[in-house]
Structure 1
Amino acid sequence: MTKGTFHQLSSEKIATKYGQLQQLLHAENEPKFRFTQIAQAIFKQKIHQFENMTVLPKRLREKIVEQFGSSILGIKPVAQTSSPQADKVLFELSGGDKVETVAMKYRAGWESFCISSQSGCGFGCRFCATGTIGLKRNLTADEITDQILYFTLKNRSLDSISFMGMGEALANPHTFTAIRTLTEPELFGLSQRRLTVSTIGIIPGIQKLTRQFPQIHLTFSLHSPFDDQRSELMPINKKYPLADVLEVLDEHVKMTGRKVYIAYVLLPGVNDSPDHAKKLISILRKRMDLKQLYHLNLIRYNPALGVADDYKRPEEHDIRSFYQQIKQAGFKATIRQSFGVEIDAACGQLYGQYEANKRFSDN
């Protein structure tokens, strides 16, 4: 049998374990189909232990284990909370840092996964539990995709994936490598349209996403239409002011033809007044020619561990009132379904509880 030759791998691809596996196979003068066998063992047969990939020669399995360890999965679950519609898992990374991932089950039968891109976050949004942790570090591309691999190996259906967990996805350059891995046909094989990236408004990252992954869904976290208040709630607004971000989003919409979702967490007595709704409507009216490509998602705030008591969960009638003002003005809006309040599904909650329990047990 003629052995194939591997294509030259880019430095970006070699940065992932899948690229490094290909590099090892090439160094061992293995045929090209060996990587296909490994990929099929992982993603079709759900085998994560290399020694159990019996389609590979024993010598090769031993070589892979020697270089990569026993499992393709490089993160370890250390805590989990569950409800009928959501599972939240805390993973430990190499070096001991931790991140959270949430798996959500919709009544229609499909599953969505909310993954983290950083351990902690350095942007300090006032109402966010992850912001109270501070930034520990960026995740590698493998650590990002391993969150999805964990559920893949459990034969869960990857209907949609959102970069909405711990951290700011567009502040981590490895996010783009992770997206390439998730959309690689021989690996996870996901369409760009099944991925959503959420951002607080990192302009260079939005522009890069527009160029490299134009079909990915983009969500912009707004949370206040008033510049002064937004800067107070979200300090990033001082570096990337709201008007500048909106201009870049307009360009994204024009270039890609893809809808932008505006996330708005309702904070009672903070950003849910009629004046806030009117200002939000005025922002949307300024882009009437793009009206069909902006969609407002109203989100119930989940009280978060370590965050000021000023921020409460909104009452349903207040949510409905705010929603009706937007709808009556003729704009698209949705009250997003709430998952896992009983399991503290807000980002950073499980992390904070785990660390608190650990400190208590250590004492």
Structure 2
Amino acid sequence: MKLVSKYETIRQLLIDLKQPLFRYKQVIDAIFKQSIGEYERMTMLPQSLRNELTRTLGPRVCSMAPVKEITSSQVSKVLYATKGGEFVEAVQLTYERGWKSYCISSQCGCGFGCKFCATGTIGLKRNLTADEITDQLLHFRLNGHALDSVSFMGMGEALANPNVFTALTILTDPKLFGLGHRRITISTIGLLPGIDKLTREFPQVNLTFSLHSPFDDQRSELMPINDRFPIPDVLNALDRHIRHTGRKVYIAYILLRGVNDSIKHAEAVAGLLRGRGPGEHLYHVNLIPYNSTEVTPERYRASDALQIEAFVQVLKSKGISITVRTQFGSDINAACGQLYRTQ
């Protein structure tokens, strides 16, 4: 059987070496309670066992090597090098009350080619492994940072990578990261098989659907995935998710000046979300100011404040729950749609 995480590998190694059962707890406690990041420094273990862990897994517990960190007010962006020589980025956001939230990557690059997204210009290099996904957080954990909430909104489409479900198992394991399911958010451009799998296997994990246009033809132009999974089909899957879980579903909507920020668009968004049955009140729209980069087309620009307010008022008048997202990190290309593995 193929072992899919370092934690399974450690457990199997201890079994193969006929170690007593408590050894696994010692290793896991060393990582998650004592923040020991090298196997050689786990001095509660026999030297021979430390040597074997190092030989099998390498000297460091964390497989993702941070090669660059950029910080600005409330935001820290880390560029990691993978063992395969690729690069991915993760972002830490610190809110004024001290809450620390993380935006992590699930793929190196992205193959879905959304026109306004910097990550999409890279193309898909490969899926990250479960360890590479969770080690983005382990880096912060080993350096003394609390992990209060996590969003799969970094590089890549989370539900296109089957390893994300293994990563969710690791993150929610009380013996490992111990994150509450409701402190994790999966963002998707609308991959129906993945949405249905998340509904079945992780019903309490938060789900965000990136809409960005209420019109199928325009959405297909902005986001080619819409040709495979058009808006009505995705919304039907989200209705099923709400019925099964009783949880909110978030609708992400990036406002692009003169493209999708008109009153007509706002009214159409409201039209999509009203009349969906008993769970319609559980849809919540997150409006996101657009963040340009040097690799995204110049024709996409942020909406002005008056247009955003007009869009908000239309949605509110139709009874739609709405939040205009506060943007952090745009000055260091760490905001939504800006991650580009810059070296």
Show structure 1 runs of 4+ deviating over 6 A: none
1:71 to 55, 60, 75: 60
Residues 201-212 of structure 1 aligned to structure 2 (within 5 Å): 201-212=190-201
Percent of aligned pairs sharing the same letter = 55
- The code of the aligned residue for 1:25 comes to L
1:113 to 102, 107, 127: 102
The answer as to whether partners of 2:253 and 2:288 remain within 8 angstroms in 1 is: yes
CA separation in 1, counterparts of 2:131 and 2:288? 30
Distance verdict in 2 for CA 1:208–1:350, change over 3 Å? closer
Deviation string 1:206-253 (CA, Å, 9 cap, x unpaired) is 000000000000000000000000000000000011100000000000
1:24 to 2, 5, 13: 13
The aligned residue for residue 264 of structure 1 is 253
Residues 124-143 of structure 1 aligned to structure 2 (within 5 Å): 124-143=113-132
Q: Cα RMSD (Å) of the superposition?
A: 1.2
Matched length? 343
Instruction: Tell me the TM-score normalized by structure 1.
Output: 0.92
CA separation in 2, counterparts of 1:342 and 1:306? 15
- The code of the aligned residue for 2:118 comes to A
CA separation in 2, counterparts of 1:349 and 1:196? 19
What is the CA distance between 1:305 and its match in structure 2? 2.6
What is the CA distance between 1:314 and its match in structure 2? 2.1
The aligned residue for residue 166 of structure 1 is 155
Residues 52-91 of structure 1 aligned to structure 2 (within 5 Å): 52-91=41-80
Structure 2 counterpart SS, 1:143? helix
- The code of the aligned residue for 2:19 comes to E
Which runs of 5 or more structure 1 residues have no equivalent in the other structure? 1-10, 355-363
The answer as to whether partners of 1:277 and 1:322 remain within 8 angstroms in 2 is: yes
Instruction: Tell me the TM-score normalized by structure 2.
Output: 0.98
The aligned residue for residue 34 of structure 1 is 23
CA separation in 2, counterparts of 1:350 and 1:262? 21
The answer as to whether partners of 1:298 and 1:335 remain within 8 angstroms in 2 is: yes
The answer as to whether partners of 1:261 and 1:297 remain within 8 angstroms in 2 is: yes
Structure 2 counterpart SS, 1:135? strand
Find out whether 1:249 has 2:238 as its counterpart. Answer: yes
The answer as to whether partners of 1:298 and 1:333 remain within 8 angstroms in 2 is: yes
Deviation string 1:169-209 (CA, Å, 9 cap, x unpaired) is 00000000000000111110111111000000000000000
The answer as to whether partners of 1:98 and 1:351 remain within 8 angstroms in 2 is: no
The aligned residue for residue 302 of structure 2 is 313
CA separation in 1, counterparts of 2:333 and 2:86? 20
1:47 to 29, 33, 36: 36
- The code of the aligned residue for 2:153 comes to M
The aligned residue for residue 236 of structure 1 is 225
- The code of the aligned residue for 1:164 comes to M
Find out whether 1:280 has 2:296 as its counterpart. Answer: no
What is the CA distance between 1:331 and its match in structure 2? 1.2
CA separation in 1, counterparts of 2:221 and 2:72? 34
Find out whether 1:154 has 2:140 as its counterpart. Answer: no
Structure 2 counterpart SS, 1:78? strand
The answer as to whether partners of 1:223 and 1:265 remain within 8 angstroms in 2 is: yes
CA separation in 2, counterparts of 1:117 and 1:85? 23
Distance verdict in 2 for CA 1:353–1:21, change over 3 Å? closer
What is the CA distance between 1:347 and its match in structure 2? 5.7
2:183 to 172, 194, 206: 194
What is the CA distance between 1:351 and its match in structure 2? 3.4
More helix by share: 1
Which runs of 5 or more structure 2 residues have no equivalent in the other structure? none
Deviation string 1:113-163 (CA, Å, 9 cap, x unpaired) is 000000000000000000000000000000000000000011111110000
- The code of the aligned residue for 1:226 comes to F
Deviation string 1:248-294 (CA, Å, 9 cap, x unpaired) is 00000001111100000001110000000010111111325223210
- The code of the aligned residue for 2:120 comes to G
- The code of the aligned residue for 1:327 comes to K
CA separation in 2, counterparts of 1:328 and 1:34? 60
CA separation in 1, counterparts of 2:16 and 2:342? 46
The aligned residue for residue 357 of structure 1 is none
Structure 1 counterpart SS, 2:279? helix
Distance verdict in 2 for CA 1:222–1:146, change over 3 Å? same
CA separation in 2, counterparts of 1:293 and 1:237? 23
The aligned residue for residue 164 of structure 2 is 175
CA separation in 2, counterparts of 1:348 and 1:112? 17
Distance verdict in 2 for CA 1:212–1:133, change over 3 Å? same
Find out whether 1:291 has 2:317 as its counterpart. Answer: no
Distance verdict in 2 for CA 1:350–1:127, change over 3 Å? closer
